[in-house]
């Protein structure tokens, strides 16, 4: 039975390691790389190399950055006295895409998940507390995921920050705009009632 | 084959962009592992119900081989929400999930254990005192799974051991030891009669008198110490949540 060359097999194996990519998809991607122009294929290789060599965590907020500080931390136009705490850089990106938040961020790089062996010391919580201690933030917004572990992480952090004169808030939760009450589950309705606002 | 069950979510692991692999402890089928395609999406057949310790009504497709079952629907019945700003109840809830995950086998139903876990999570969320609830779950769970240490007869010779003064308790042997059998045994600790009585009452699932018993802080600490060692021996490692529960 004819076999592929070692280089092609290696490429397929590497693609197959990517999340959501099975053997068949890996083969398709490898054949695509073989088919396209050399310069285009090498652009992909260069992009991967650049990401691995140049991208690091921001020394202040732990967002992804190509310099010591990320773009947000370097931007003097951002509100310097509001801090939003998120679990991952992708959560930060989601909030940025909303276009309504103009403050600073702190990325935890995970959430406290004792059952997975992830404790507070493995996250950037110590750096966050130090940041709040050193700087005068008016408000810290907890934007961890609204899950048991996300809420637990937010609670742990808010307990640590309670000694500082800072307002601690969390993202609102409740009914999705455009939906109907009839089909909202009881937990969502309870949240919406508990967090109701002045009209 | 499509099955329906009531389940507690013990673990969720992200799988691909939108899917989850979940470990569920069901009342009808015991512990199962299932793939929830689209389980991370807000919209869909899972309605964000697949959160740790959530109680849900599920529909799933049983796989005949060793493959994961396929979860097709989950309706949230109750989300686990610890009261106030206290982390101890949350960590106790995690501990319930850890013990259910570690002490039960796949596809081995224990409906009474499910009811005990469900009741414990409800009580923790309602703000009931955590140490007592945790002990009740540990001892009740050990009894239902057949792991309860022998508390009134010598685990070696079967002689009745009077709960008076202090009694030898073999951590490795799994229960009390009479004066004749205790010699030469390893990891034997001395336990007060009060601690043994407390454990007996808390492990009695037929009675509700455990609600009313007074537990002296010293007895509580002693019982806690015995059970910490016992679970470490039973699992072959220290339970992950012990350090979190003991810090508080």
**CATH classification at residue A48:** 1.10.8.420
**Residue A71 confidence (pLDDT) above 60:** yes
Asked whether residue A140 falls in the same domain as residue A49, the answer is: no
Both tokens of B51, joined, read 């959160």
Q: What proportion of chain A, given as a percentage, has pLDDT over 90?
A: 79
Distance from B75 to chain A by nearest Cα, in Å? 9
Question: By 3-state DSSP, what share of chain B in percent is helix, strand and coil, each rounded to 5?
Answer: 35, 25, 40
Asked whether residue A163 falls in the same domain as residue A192, the answer is: yes
Asked whether residue A10 falls in the same domain as residue A100, the answer is: no
Any idea which residue has 């109680």 for tokens?
A: B55
In a domain, A192, yes or no: yes
The Cα–Cα gap between B114 and B131 comes to 20
A145 near B CB under 8 A? no
Asked whether residue A187 falls in the same domain as residue A102, the answer is: yes
CATH 1.20.1440 spans which residues of chain B?
83-148+188-245
Do B94 and A176 lie within an 8 Å CB cutoff?
Answer: no
B189 near A CB under 8 A? no
A115 near B CB under 8 A? yes
Asked whether residue A27 falls in the same domain as residue A102, the answer is: no
Any idea which residue has 């136009």 for tokens?
A: A77
Asked whether residue A83 falls in the same domain as residue A42, the answer is: no
- At B56 the pLDDT is 94
Positive or negative, the Cα torsion across A66, A72, A76, A80?
Answer: negative
In a domain, A62, yes or no: no
Do A148 and B76 lie within an 8 Å CB cutoff?
Answer: no
As a whole number, the mean pLDDT across chain A is 92
Query: Measured between beta carbons, which residues in chain B are less than 8 angstroms from residue A20?
Result: 16-17
The pLDDT-based confidence of B231 (bands split at 50, 70, 90) is very high
Say whether the ipTM exceeds 0.90.
no
Rounded mean pLDDT, B163-175: 87
Instruction: Name the CATH architecture for the domain at B83-148+188-245.
Output: Up-down Bundle (1.20)
In a domain, A59, yes or no: no
CATH 2.40.50.140 spans which residues of chain B?
2-78
Q: Count each helix (H run) and each strand (E run) in chain A, helices first.
A: 8, 6
pLDDT digits (tens, 9 = 90+) for B27-70: 999 999 999 988 887 777 787 789 999 999 999 998 877 788 99
The enclosing domain of A179 has a CATH number of 3.40.1360.10
Bigger pLDDT: A55 vs A195: A55
B164 near A CB under 8 A? no
Asked whether residue A89 falls in the same domain as residue A11, the answer is: no
In a domain, A46, yes or no: yes
- Residue B140: how many other CB atoms lie within 10 Å: 23
**Residue A66 confidence (pLDDT) above 70:** yes
Number of structural domains (chain A) is 2
**Residue B19 confidence (pLDDT) above 90:** no
- At A56 the pLDDT is 95
Select from B16, B76, B87 the Cβ nearest to the Cβ of A152. B87
B244 near A CB under 8 A? yes
Closest to A85 in 3D by CA, of A51, A112, A66: A112
The pLDDT-based confidence of B247 (bands split at 50, 70, 90) is low
Which structural domain, as residue segments, surrounds residue A150? 73-198
Closest to B99 in 3D by CA, of B123, B76, B117: B117
- At B248 the pLDDT is 59
**Residue B116 confidence (pLDDT) above 90:** yes
B85 near A CB under 8 A? yes
Do B79 and A187 lie within an 8 Å CB cutoff?
Answer: yes
Asked whether residue A169 falls in the same domain as residue A103, the answer is: yes
A110 near B CB under 8 A? no
Q: Which runs of consecutive H residues, i.e. helices, occur in chain B?
A: 87-103, 111-125, 130-145, 193-203, 217-235, 242-246
The Cα–Cα gap between B142 and B165 comes to 25
Do A147 and B90 lie within an 8 Å CB cutoff?
Answer: no
Asked whether residue A129 falls in the same domain as residue A45, the answer is: no
Contact B209, B201 (CB under 8 A): yes
Asked whether residue A142 falls in the same domain as residue A170, the answer is: yes
In a domain, A181, yes or no: yes
Distance from B237 to chain A by nearest Cα, in Å? 13
- At A2 the pLDDT is 61
**Residue B6 confidence (pLDDT) above 80:** yes
Both tokens of A182, joined, read 């009839």
Asked whether residue A79 falls in the same domain as residue A50, the answer is: no
pLDDT digits (tens, 9 = 90+) for B66-94: 788 999 999 989 999 988 878 999 999 99
Rounded mean pLDDT, B153-182: 88
Both tokens of A173, joined, read 């939760």
Distance from B76 to chain A by nearest Cα, in Å? 8
pLDDT digits (tens, 9 = 90+) for A103-153: 999 999 999 999 999 999 999 999 999 999 998 899 999 999 999 999 999
CATH H-level superfamily of B2-78: Nucleic acid-binding proteins (2.40.50.140)
As a whole number, the mean pLDDT across chain B is 90
In a domain, A183, yes or no: yes
Query: Measured between beta carbons, which residues in chain A are less than 8 angstroms from residue B52?
Result: 115, 147-149
Which distant-in-sequence residues (6+ apart) come within 8 Å of A90 by Cβ? none
A174 near B CB under 8 A? no
pLDDT digits (tens, 9 = 90+) for B139-163: 999 999 999 999 989 999 988 988 7
Do A156 and B244 lie within an 8 Å CB cutoff?
Answer: no
Both tokens of B215, joined, read 């537990």
Do B51 and A148 lie within an 8 Å CB cutoff?
Answer: yes
Asked whether residue A38 falls in the same domain as residue A122, the answer is: no
Q: What proportion of chain B, given as a percentage, has pLDDT over 90?
A: 63
A156 near B CB under 8 A? yes
- Model's pTM, two decimal places? 0.89
């Amino acid at each position: 039975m004819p076999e592929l060359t070692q280089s092609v097999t290696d490429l397929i194996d590497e693609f197959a390691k990517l999340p959501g990519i099975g053997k068949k998809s890996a083969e398709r991607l490898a054949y695509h790389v073989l088919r396209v122009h050399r310069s285009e294929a090498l652009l992909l290789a260069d992009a991967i190399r650049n990401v691995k060599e140049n991208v690091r965590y921001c020394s202040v907020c732990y967002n992804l950055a190509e310099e010591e500080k990320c773009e947000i931390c370097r931007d003097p136009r951002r509100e310097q006295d509001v801090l939003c705490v998120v679990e991952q850089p992708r959560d930060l990106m989601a909030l940025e895409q909303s276009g309504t938040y103009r403050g600073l961020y702190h990325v935890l790089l995970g959430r406290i998940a004792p059952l997975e062996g992830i404790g507070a010391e493995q996250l950037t919580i110590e750096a966050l507390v130090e940041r709040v201690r050193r700087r005068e933030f008016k408000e810290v917004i907890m934007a961890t995921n609204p899950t048991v572990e996300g809420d637990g992480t937010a609670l742990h952090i808010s307990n640590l920050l309670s000694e500082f004169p800072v307002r601690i808030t969390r993202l609102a939760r409740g009914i999705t705009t455009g939906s109907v009450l009839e089909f909202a589950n009881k937990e969502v309705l309870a949240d919406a009632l508990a967090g109701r606002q002045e009209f | 084959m499509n099955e329906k069950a009531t389940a507690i979510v013990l673990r969720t692991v992200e799988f691909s962009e939108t899917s989850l692999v979940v470990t569920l402890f069901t009342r009808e089928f015991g512990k199962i592992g299932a793939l929830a395609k689209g389980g991370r999406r807000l919209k869909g057949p899972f309605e964000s119900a697949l959160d740790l310790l959530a109680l849900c009504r599920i529909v799933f497709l049983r796989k005949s081989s060793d493959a994961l079952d396929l979860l097709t629907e989950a309706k949230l019945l109750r989300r686990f929400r610890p009261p106030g700003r206290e982390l101890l109840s949350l960590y106790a809830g995690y501990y319930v999930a850890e013990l259910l995950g570690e002490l039960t086998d796949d596809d081995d139903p224990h409906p009474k254990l499910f009811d005990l876990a469900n009741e414990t999570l409800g009580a923790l969320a309602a703000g009931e005192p955590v140490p007592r609830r945790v002990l009740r779950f540990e001892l009740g769970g050990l009894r239902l799974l057949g792991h309860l240490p022998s508390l009134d007869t010598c685990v070696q010779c079967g002689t009745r051991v009077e709960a008076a003064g202090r009694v030898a308790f073999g951590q490795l042997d799994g229960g009390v030891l009479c004066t004749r059998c205790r010699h030469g045994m390893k990891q034997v600790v001395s336990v007060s009669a009060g601690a043994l009585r407390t454990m007996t009452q808390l492990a009695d699932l037929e009675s509700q008198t455990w609600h009313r018993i007074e537990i002296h802080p010293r007895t509580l600490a002693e019982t806690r110490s015995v059970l910490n060692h016992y679970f470490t021996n039973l699992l072959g490692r220290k339970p992950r949540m012990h350090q979190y529960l003991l810090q508080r």
